[in-house]
Structure formats: C-alpha cells, structure tokens
C-alpha cells in the first residue's frame, strides 16, 4: 500500500482502486509504527471506498484495528448519496467520558482516598454480569431511550447544569425506543447505572499540569493539585445489541456482496433501515448519557458522605467516543449537512459552534482524553482548524498496542496494584485478571497521542491529570 | 489417540480472537462457544445446574455463528447465566437458511466465579469457516 508523508505528523494513502477519496493519517513516526502493526490502514482504505464519503477517510493518532472501520476513524457521508454504518459507530454506542471538577485539593483527598474509593465501589455497580441497583420497568426504559440524561435529572440524579455541559445536552432528539429490539431492552434493563468492565473505569484524579490557563479557567480547572473525577463507560449490552441487530438487518436487506469486509455493512442514510438505525443508535446514545449521569450523581453522594460536601462538583463536560451524527461542515466551499461517524474519536469543535454550550462558546468545546488505567489523562479544547482537518474530531485515548491475551501472560493484576500503590495510586477492581488485561504497557503512549493532536491542530492541550484512585470494572 | 485441541486464543490488538476446531461443523460450533466463554470465565469450573435450550437462524453459516455465540452474551446480561457446556447441538438447513438448535448447560453467576473479561459482541471481522478434513472457525469478538 502506498503511504506518503505529506506534512509533519500527516500521512496520506492516495486514492487508488476502489477508493473514492484518499485516507489521511495523523500520527508521529512512532505512533505510525504502532498503527502499522495491525490492519488499521487497510481498514481506513476500505472506509474510503464507501458511497458518499466526503473529503477523506481520517485516522486519528491513537488509531488501532477495529472491525470494518478502524478505531480512531472519522468519516463523513453525504446525506443523499451516502451511507450510515453500525460498524462506523462501533458496538459500544456512546462509549464516552464525563469529567467532574471539585473544590477539593490533593491535601483534602490523599489521606481519604481509600475510603472514597471503597465507597464509590459500593455505590457504583461494576464488572461483567453485575446488575444495576435500579429496578427498571420497560416503560421507564423507553422513557430513558427518548430522554437520555434528562430522564436521570428529572428523577433526581444530578442537575440541569449537568445537561448543559453534556454533548447533545445529554439527549439525542432523533431517538426512538420503538427502533430498539426487545432483546436489546432486556439486556439494558439490568444494566442502567453500571460501569461495566473491560477498558471502562472511574478515576479520582488530580491536576498535574495546566497548559492553557484561560481555557482551563473556563472549564473550572484552577490549580495544580485540584481533584477531578473521570467516568468512562458506555451503553452496555443495550448498545451492543443495537449494533448487532442492525448489522444483521442491513445484511439481510442489502446483502454483503462487494464489501471488502462484512463489518462494513451499511444502509443508505435516507433509506428506511438507515433512518431506523439512526433512531435506534440515538436511543442507545441516550441510554449511555443516562448511565453516566447516574454514576456521576452517586460519586457526588460519596464525596458528600466521606468529605462532608459535594459543593463545587460541577460537570466539566461529557463527550461521546462512538457515535454518528448529522452536523454542518464546509465541503468544497459549501456548508452542508453530513453524517459524521466517529468511532473511537472525540468531537473537537472550536469556539463559536452552536453545538457548544453558551458557557464554553468563546473557549471551545472541552475534549476529554482518558489514558490507560492508572496513567495520565488529558483535557483538551477543540479548535476551529479541526473542522477542516478532521470534521472537528480528535483522538479518544491511548489505544491498545498489545493483545489482552499477551497482557495476561505478561502481567499480574495484583502486581499492577502494588506498583500503583507505591506511586500513591489506589486501585480497586472486580477482577485482577481484568486489571492485567488493561495494563498500561498494553497501550500507546497517551502523551504522544495528545502531543500529535496539538501539533496537527485538531485539539489544543489544556491540562494533564493523573490518578489518585482508580476503580476498574 | 490424544484428544483434539478444542480451540486456540490468537493475538489481536484490542479484541478477542480465536480458532475453534471440530471433526464436524457442530463440534467446531460447540468449541467456539467454549472459546468465547473462556475469554470471560473458566467454563470448566461452571457446574451444569441449569439448562437453556434455544434455536437460532442465519442466512449463512457466518451469521448463524454470530447469532449462536451472541446467545452466550445475551444469557449473561439478562440472566447472569454462565455457560459450562453445550449439549445436543444440531445444525441443519431449511430452504436458504441455516438453523441451529442446542442447549447451554451452566450456572448462575455467583461469588464462586471470577469474570475477568467482557465480550461485548461477536463480529464478522476476519471470520473464517474452513473445511479441511474437519472444521476450523476463526472468530473475533469485541471486548
């Protein structure tokens, strides 16, 4: 495959064969070496072959192999000529990250971190097969699918201000519970308000470094040592089932002939099935928003109980990492509605975009990039250039480099816990094997990922945070 | 004769990948179910206390496999059911479709079991169904 370096940290796979547009990769030489290890570039090229794709098939600095689309892939499609693909969103629909700020400092929390973590562990159900604490009726679930985080706030979980500081204000308006199968609902009912497992985690963090004081201040990040809370989880089995269901429906309706990879199955955006998937996916997005809203509420409760108050625990923002959305972008000098697929990528809108809440409109959208378990995470801010460079998108995390199987062979969860403890980081998990699978050595260097984001201009660094306490599902 | 290897877990950057073997397609499907379970729990330590019969239909063998393995995740999520073994697995065709009937035997998740992995979905990515003497199924699951 031809791969040309066309600028600092920018590589292009020129249009060839069936490709309708080139593929563009944002990576340093070091990250590109990681990316080349697997099928990421082939997958980016396959995406470039899909009908109606606009400008480029983009690959973010943290990309790795997915199924059909790469993880860390961004592709936008024309609404009339183009497609929508469940594989372009991913199975964990609206897997995302929420960040809370606090008025607490390292001094307030260090001595109490074990207690805080134990209490959070009690309040927030985590791990595979662990049900939620909320007994949910099917009607309540339907309400959640339509209203998302708004439902949670109406039911006493958090505040209206949280909604204001959530992508899509915590609710995708196109959602329709009727597009979600019974099977997906059955999987969702016991899982609302649960963290899940795998790469999902909840961290108590402290600010290590502030790079951009004015953006940080706009987001409520004031000083090094300030305590934050990060919640990383998604739509659980409900979202996974929506993806599985629509892949099957699209296969049965449109077949898989001519697709270089069966996971690229798609439907014309305007087709009945394409629209139905969009409504079902939006419902799963809402489920995930409600999920993170409830977890955030319980975390505040724990802080209030252990430290005496949850005052000042405002939400910085909540971003989606796996989603498809209709957004306005300029293509060929013309402002158009496009269906932007971000799979393992974060929206990164610069100042002024109407999608950004008023409080942040002059600063730009907060972009939250979690590192691997126990390592640094970053807060960035969206840039105006990102719209031209990546349809307003940037990286979403560290991205794996080592298989889970290999990580299990090389690391032991208990050892990781002890190593972290020596660095002053408390770790709790439902499974030590699960911890070994998520060892930070199995991931790319997140510092390098955000450095490239900043150098390319698709996200500007605001602050670096490091964990104090980690809860892994 | 030594017993044939049931399955092998293969390296994959982010997800779970395995090859399952069988002298027949049915046996390979059974072993694919055990391989999937092995990414989440130790199926050999799950007692066969409960039985869950089911039937799935696919437009081809690949879709049949995706739906069959999806049943493991569905039962875990909805009933906290852990698969320990598969019984009475039969695959047949009906017109253009493929049909599979089987029974999962297993137990309800409790403190006795450790769940260390989270298989979110079964994918078609890199899926292979090969016939050469016996059957080999290659599957990637989203984790």
Q: What residues contact A359, with CB distance under 8 A and at least 6 apart?
A: A164, A165, A218
Is B110 part of the contact surface with chain A (CB cutoff 8 Å)?
no
Q: Which chain B residue is nearest to residue A38, measuring alpha carbons?
A: B13
C-alpha distance from residue A366 to each of A169, A296, A317, B65 (Å): 14, 18, 6, 42
What is the structure's pLDDT at A131? 64
Picking from A324, A336, A328, A321, the residue whose alpha carbon sits closest to that of residue A267 is A324
The alpha-carbon gap from A172 to the nearest alpha carbon of chain B, in Å, equals: 23
- Check B117 against A129: CB less than 8 A apart: no
- Check B77 against A183: CB less than 8 A apart: no
For B29-51, the pLDDT digits (tens) are 999 999 999 999 999 999 999 99
Q: What residues contact A448, with CB distance under 8 A and at least 6 apart?
A: A28, A30, A31, A61
- The pLDDT of B60-88, averaged and rounded, is 96
- Check B11 against A243: CB less than 8 A apart: no
- The answer to whether residue A133 scores a pLDDT higher than 70 is no
Task: Report how far residue A312's alpha carbon sits from residue A150's, in angstroms, rounded to the nearest whole number.
Answer: 21
- The pLDDT of A22-41, averaged and rounded, is 94
What is the structure's pLDDT at A265? 96
- The pLDDT of A214-234, averaged and rounded, is 97
DSSP helix/strand/coil, A413: helix
For B97-143, the pLDDT digits (tens) are 999 999 999 999 998 898 888 899 999 988 999 998 999 999 999 98
Left, alpha or beta for A424 (phi > 0: left; psi -120 to 50: alpha)? left
Is B4 part of the contact surface with chain A (CB cutoff 8 Å)?
no
Q: Report residue A437: phi and psi, to 5°.
A: -65, -30
For A392-408, the pLDDT digits (tens) are 999 999 878 888 888 88
For A227-248, the pLDDT digits (tens) are 999 999 999 999 999 999 999 9
- Check B73 against A237: CB less than 8 A apart: yes
What is the structure's pLDDT at A419? 92
DSSP helix/strand/coil, A67: strand
Q: Are B101 and B90 in contact (CB under 8 A)?
A: yes
- The answer to whether residue A307 scores a pLDDT higher than 80 is yes
pLDDT band at A103 (very low <50, low <70, confident <90, very high): very high
The answer to which of A289-293, A398-402, B65-69, B139-143 has the lowest mean pLDDT is A398-402
What is the structure's pLDDT at A1? 86
- The tokens of B33 are what? 């179910």
For A437-469, the pLDDT digits (tens) are 888 888 888 999 999 999 999 999 999 999 999
- Check B125 against A261: CB less than 8 A apart: yes
How far is C-alpha A53 from the geometric centre of its chain's CA atoms? 22
What is the structure's pLDDT at A199? 80
Strands A426-429 vs A460-472: parallel, antiparallel or unpaired: parallel
Residues of A involved in catalysis: 396
pLDDT band at A132 (very low <50, low <70, confident <90, very high): low
Q: Which chain A residue is nearest to residue B38, measuring alpha carbons?
A: A405
User: Which residues of chain B neighbour A414 with C-beta distances below 8 Å?
Assistant: none
What is the structure's pLDDT at A472? 87
Q: Which chain B residue is nearest to residue A234, measuring alpha carbons?
A: B120
- The answer to whether residue A431 scores a pLDDT higher than 80 is yes
User: Which residues of chain B neighbour A432 with C-beta distances below 8 Å?
Assistant: 116
**pLDDT over 90 percentage in chain A:** 83
- The answer to whether residue A249 scores a pLDDT higher than 70 is yes
User: Which residues of chain B neighbour A430 with C-beta distances below 8 Å?
Assistant: 115
The pTM of this model reads 0.95
**pLDDT over 70 percentage in chain A:** 99
- The answer to whether residue A134 scores a pLDDT higher than 70 is no
pLDDT band at B12 (very low <50, low <70, confident <90, very high): confident
List the domains of chain B with CATH numbers. Answer: 7-142 (3.55.10.10)
For A162-210, the pLDDT digits (tens) are 999 999 999 999 999 999 999 999 999 988 888 887 788 999 999 999 9
Enumerate residues 5 to 64 of chain B having a beta carbon within 8 A of any beta carbon in chain A. Answer: 9-17, 40, 59, 62-63
User: Which residues of chain A neighbour B122 with C-beta distances below 8 Å?
Assistant: 244
- The pLDDT of B59-72, averaged and rounded, is 97
The alpha-carbon gap from B137 to the nearest alpha carbon of chain A, in Å, equals: 16
For A345-375, the pLDDT digits (tens) are 999 999 999 999 999 999 999 999 999 878 8
Q: Partners of B58 in the beta sheet? A: B98
Q: Predicted ipTM?
A: 0.91
Largest Cα span, chain A: 64
Enumerate residues 207 to 266 of chain A having a beta carbon within 8 A of any beta carbon in chain B. Answer: 236-237, 240-241, 243-244, 247-248, 251-252, 261-263
List the domains of chain A with CATH numbers. Answer: 4-401+443-472 (3.90.1860.10)
- Check A240 against B120: CB less than 8 A apart: yes
What is the structure's pLDDT at B1? 47
The alpha-carbon gap from B1 to the nearest alpha carbon of chain A, in Å, equals: 29
Angle between helices A236-254 and A272-307 (to 10 degrees): 170
- Check B142 against A67: CB less than 8 A apart: yes
- The answer to whether residue A127 scores a pLDDT higher than 80 is no
User: Which residues of chain B neighbour A127 with C-beta distances below 8 Å?
Assistant: 115
- Check A131 against B62: CB less than 8 A apart: no
Q: Partners of A84 in the beta sheet? A: A267
Residue with tokens 């069966």: A262
- Check B118 against A198: CB less than 8 A apart: yes
Helix, strand, coil shares, percent, chain A, to 5: 40, 25, 35
**Residues of A49-80 as b/e, b for ≥16 C-beta within 10 angstroms?**
bbebbbbbbbbbbbbbbbbbbbbbbbbbbbbe
Q: What residues contact B14, with CB distance under 8 A and at least 6 apart?
A: A64, A65, A66, A71, A400, A403, A404, B143
Q: What angle is formed at CA A254 by the lines to CA A252 and CA A257, rounded to 5 degrees?
A: 100
The alpha-carbon gap from B54 to the nearest alpha carbon of chain A, in Å, equals: 14
DSSP helix/strand/coil, A364: coil
- The tokens of A118 are what? 């134990």
């Amino acid at each position: 495959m031809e791969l040309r370096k066309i600028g600092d940290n920018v590589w292009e796979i020129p249009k060839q064969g069936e490709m309708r547009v080139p593929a563009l990769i944002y990576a340093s030489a070091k990250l590109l070496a990681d990316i080349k290890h697997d099928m990421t570039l082939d997958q980016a090229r396959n995406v470039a072959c899909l009908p109606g794709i606009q400008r480029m098939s983009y690959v973010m600095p943290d990309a790795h192999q997915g199924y059909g689309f790469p993880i860390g892939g961004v592709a936008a499609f024309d609404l009339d000529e183009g497609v929508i693909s469940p594989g372009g969103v991913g199975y964990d629909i609206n897997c995302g990250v929420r960040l809370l700020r606090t008025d607490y400092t390292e001094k307030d929390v260090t001595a109490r971190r074990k207690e805080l973590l134990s209490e959070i562990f009690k309040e927030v159900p985590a791990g595979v097969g662990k049900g939620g604490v909320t007994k949910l009726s099917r009607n309540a679930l339907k309400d959640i699918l339509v209203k998302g985080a708004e439902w949670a706030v109406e039911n006493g979980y958090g505040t209206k201000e949280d909604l204001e500081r959530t992508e899509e204000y915590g609710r995708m308006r196109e959602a329709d519970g009727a597009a979600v199968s019974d099977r997906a609902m059955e999987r969702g009912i016991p899982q609302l308000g649960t963290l899940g497992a795998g790469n999902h985690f909840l961290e108590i963090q402290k600010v290590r470094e502030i790079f951009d004081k004015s953006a940080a201040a706009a987001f409520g990040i004031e000083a090094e040592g300030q305590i934050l809370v990060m919640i990383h989880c998604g739509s659980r089995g409900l979202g996974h089932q929506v993806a599985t269901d629509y892949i099957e429906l699209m296969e049965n309706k449109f077949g898989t002939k001519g697709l270089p990879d069966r996971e690229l199955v798609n439907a014309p955006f305007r087709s009945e099935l394409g629209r139905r998937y969009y409504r079902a996916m939006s419902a799963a997005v809402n489920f995930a928003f409600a999920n993170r809203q409830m977890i955030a509420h319980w975390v505040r409760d724990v802080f209030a109980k252990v430290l005496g108050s949850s005052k000042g625990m405002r939400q910085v923002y909540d971003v989606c990492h796996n989603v498809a959305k209709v957004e306005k972008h300029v293509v060929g000098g013309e402002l158009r509605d496009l269906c932007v697929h971000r799979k393992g990528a974060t929206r990164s809108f610069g100042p002024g975009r109407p999608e950004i809440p008023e409080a942040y409109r002059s600063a730009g959208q907060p972009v939250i990039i979690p590192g691997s378990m126990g390592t640094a995470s970053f807060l960035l801010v969206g840039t105006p250039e990102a719209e031209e460079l990546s349809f307003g998108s940037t990286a979403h995390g560290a991205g794996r480099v080592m298989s889970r199987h290999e990580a299990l062979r090389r690391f032991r969860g208990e050892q990781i816990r002890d190593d972290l403890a020596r660095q002053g980081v408390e770790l709790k998990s439902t499974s030590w094997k699960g911890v070994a699978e998520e060892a930070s050595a199995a991931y790319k260097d997140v510092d390098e990922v955000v450095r490239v984001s900043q150098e390319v201009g698709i996200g500007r660094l605001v602050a670096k945070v490091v964990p104090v306490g980690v809860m892994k599902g | 004769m030594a017993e044939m290897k049931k399955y092998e877990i293969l390296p994959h950057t982010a997800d779970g990948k395995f090859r399952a073997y069988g002298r027949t397609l049915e046996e390979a499907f059974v072993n694919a179910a055990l391989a999937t379970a092995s990414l989440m729990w130790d199926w050999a330590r799950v007692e066969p206390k409960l039985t869950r019969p089911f039937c799935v239909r696919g437009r081809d063998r690949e879709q049949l496999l995706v739906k069959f393995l999806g049943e493991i995740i569905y039962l875990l999520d909805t009933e906290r059911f852990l698969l320990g073994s598969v019984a009475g697995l039969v695959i047949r065709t009906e017109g253009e479709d493929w049909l599979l009937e089987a029974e999962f035997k297993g137990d309800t998740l409790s403190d006795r079991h450790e769940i260390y992995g989270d298989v979110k979905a079964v994918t078609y990515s890199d899926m292979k169904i090969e016939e050469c003497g016996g059957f080999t199924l290659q599957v990637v699951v989203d984790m």
